[in-house]
Amino acid sequence: MNLAVIGSGYVGLVTGACFAEMGNRVVCVDNDERKISMLNNYEIPIYEPGLKEMVERNSQSGRLSFTLDLAEAVRNSRIIFIAVGTPPEEDGSADLQYVLAVARDIARHMQEPKIVVNKSTVPVGTADLVRKVISDGLKARDLDISFDVVSNPEFLKEGAAIEDFMKPDRVVVGVDSLEAGKVMHELYLPFNKTRDRVILMAVRSAEMTKYAANAMLATKISFMNELSRLCEALGADVAEVRNGIGSDSRIGYKFIYPGVGYGGSCFPKDVKALIHMHRQNRLNPRIMQAVEDTNEDQKLLLVDKVKKHFGAKLDGLVFAVWGLAFKPQTDDMREAPAVVIVNALLAAGAKVQAYDPVAMQEAKRVLGQRKGLSYAADEYAALDGADALLLVTEWHQFRYPDFARIKQNLKQPVVFDGRNQYDPLQMRDLGFSYYSIGRP
């Protein structure tokens, strides 16, 4: 099929590359001239394992192209994916200005029937807004062209997005016409070889499914983080509790690891949006509000442990921070716990020596060049002259470090483990003062 993907950010780029990989002809559109120039030179503006190779392979084959020309992309495509950003407003609602602007552009340039697909995460009812904007635009041109608006939310994990798209657990498609459902099912047929993963439903149900999925996962994380505090107070080990409850097939082991809170582009934004939707409909978002509040508190837990050990004033102290991205296998620092932690340490008078295997450039953009903050060349350089180590993101290379070297480089053998990567008894035997999450 001929596809257009409007918006060449994280979702749009992965979507376009993966559809091209399955033999479709895909044109990705963006209004950022620099980004399009980079992509046409096989340079990827984000870090995602396997994406660069897939983009280069499909671009060279002629199945994938990048352009600033939205009009031509709309005219030449049967299916048009909207994959632009929906950043949160101050009240938590999603900003739909970019989605609706694309809808207006589609109406301005379409000359034959189209299927317009919302790939962006959008509030329930957005498809109706997109449909109205396109209808109004066609009326202004005195045209009567049929079109469908479909909801097809993405469920991509940063760091594993290629595999998630190519081997999906499910493909949620919200439609209001049989014909659009058949075309979307055909489009996803190559991804369904072992079993049919396409779940057809009403458009509004599909829009809600995306929020419900992310909110459920965020709830599991906040639940375990809250439970970890109780475990610590009562002398129980949250890691043992996690094994005990995770073995129950109704619960499972995924997303029940305690830590320093969730971050990224999805969970925080989607929980806020659900809270806003509740209030907009005069409902009380008790659970969602608790999930968000618990997460915000958890981001400061490691700093609280630091202050309990060293005292409230951290003037003159130096802290090494391992991990800045919100999770491993990405350079994304949106809503990252590390940002809150670094800012809190600096505000308390400390100095921070930070390192991340991938997110250093993004960290310099987000955190900036500030007094008391320096960026290390590697994880061990970050330890030089530091009074303690804070492990914030569980990159693989941090899991089995050289503990003798850590102890040698630090002024004091103190480790604050925000991801429970190390064994408390081993750390004690090695001579470390060791603090983790929810473990005695």
How far, in Å, CA of 394 to CA of 334, rounded?
17
Neighbours of 201 (CB within 10 A): 16
Instruction: Spell out where 283-360 has E strands.
Output: 318-322, 351-355
User: How far is the C-alpha of 82 from the C-alpha of 77, rounded, in Å?
Assistant: 13
266 is catalytic: yes
C-alpha distances out from residue 104 to 98, 107, 130, 207, 278, Å:
10, 5, 8, 21, 29
The SS3 of residue 392 is: coil
Rounded CA-CA distance 42/169 in Å is 29
How far apart are the C-alpha atoms of 359 and 347, rounded to whole Å? 22
C-alpha to C-alpha distance for 336 and 357, rounded to whole angstroms: 15
Ramachandran quadrant class, 87 (left: phi over 0; alpha: psi -120 to 50; beta: rest): beta
Q: 18, 28, 231, 266: which one is catalytic?
A: 266
Distance of CA 9 to CAs 30, 66, 115, Å?
8, 12, 21
Q: Which of 291, 333, 41, 396 is CA-nearest to residue 158?
A: 333
In the DSSP assignment, the letter for residue 191 is: G
Q: Positive or negative, the Cα torsion across 200, 201, 204, 208?
A: negative
Strand partners, 149: 116
Residue recorded with tokens 């309990």: 308
* CA neighbor of 200 nearest in space, from 178, 224, 174: 174
Instruction: Identify whether the C-beta of residue 354 lies closer than 8 Å to the C-beta of residue 383.
Output: no
Three-state SS string across 136-167, please? HHHHHCCCCCCEEEEECCCCCCCCCHHHHHHC
Catalytic residue numbers?
266
